Amino acid sequence: MILEKFITIAQHLERMNNFNGVMEILAALQSSSVHRLKKSTQAVGNRHLKILDELMKLTSRELNYKNLRSKVHGANPPLIPFPGVYLGDLVFLDTGNAMHLNSDKNMVNFQKFQKLASYILELQVYQQTPYNFTPVPEIQAFMKDVPILDEEAAYAMSLICEPRTTLGRGSQFVSLKS
């Protein structure tokens, strides 16, 4: 089943410390076009549901991504962090801290800039250690040819996989498959 394959891919990405890849797959699985596929989701095996639950806990926004931050800081490079965490921190540091310490603007808030620099340096450290992969031209060509669907097209395909059966309040909707 395709959903199980993507859960397995996300698990492998997590083991490889590619946390951005994990987040991307989980975001796709939570998109409206996939989330609505109730029959398909019910067919996912318990083992894969447990893996998915663990990945969801790892990437939870709870306590400002506490679990994900802990995993990233405990991981050895190479790794690809989820940039959304760092971008959020940088915005918070920039907007939540004054550039100057006084109204005369003659005293720069160096602590703000030290914190901003430390976040940027941390990201740069992660970029220093590359993965040691051998390119596979066939896989690269396949990936380049995969069509990219916008939300509307993805939702239309979702309706082909599992047509709507009701439109609320008990009225029946007859689906015509093309």
Residue 173 main-chain phi, psi, to 5 deg: -115, 125
**Whole-angstrom Cα distance, residue 47 to residue 53?**
10
State the DSSP string of 68-114.
Answer: HHHHHHHSPSS-B--HHHHHHHHHHHHHHS-SBSSTTS-SB-HHHHH
The model's pLDDT over 79-99, given as tens digits with 9 standing for 90+, comes to 999 999 999 999 999 999 999
In a domain, 177, yes or no: no
* CATH number for the domain harbouring residue 133: 1.10.840.10
User: Which residues of the chain carry a pLDDT beneath 70?
Assistant: 166-178
pLDDT at residue number 71: 97
Alpha-carbon gap, residue 136 to 34, rounded angstroms? 29
For residue 168, being part of any structural domain is answered with no
Q: Residue 85: what residue type? A: V
User: For residue 166, what pLDDT is reported?
Assistant: 55
The pTM score is 0.83
| pLDDT recorded at residue 165 | 77
Which positions ≥6 away from 114 have C-beta within 8 Å?
Answer: none
Examine residue 176 and state whether it is found in any structural domain, yes or no. no
DSSP structure class, residue 17: T
CA proximity to 78, closest of 23, 17, 24: 17
- Peptide bond before residue 78 is cis, with ω within 30 degrees of 0: yes
Instruction: For residue 132, tell me if it sits in a domain.
Output: yes
Indicate the number of domains in the chain: 1
Residue 83 within a domain:
yes
The vertex-26 CA angle with 20 and 28, nearest 5°, equals: 105
Q: Is residue 169 part of a domain?
A: no
Which residue range forms the structural domain that includes residue 74? 2-161
Residue 38 lies in a domain: yes
- The span from the CA of 99 to the CA of 106, in Å, is 10
15 within a domain of the structure (yes/no): yes
**What's the pLDDT at 103?**
84
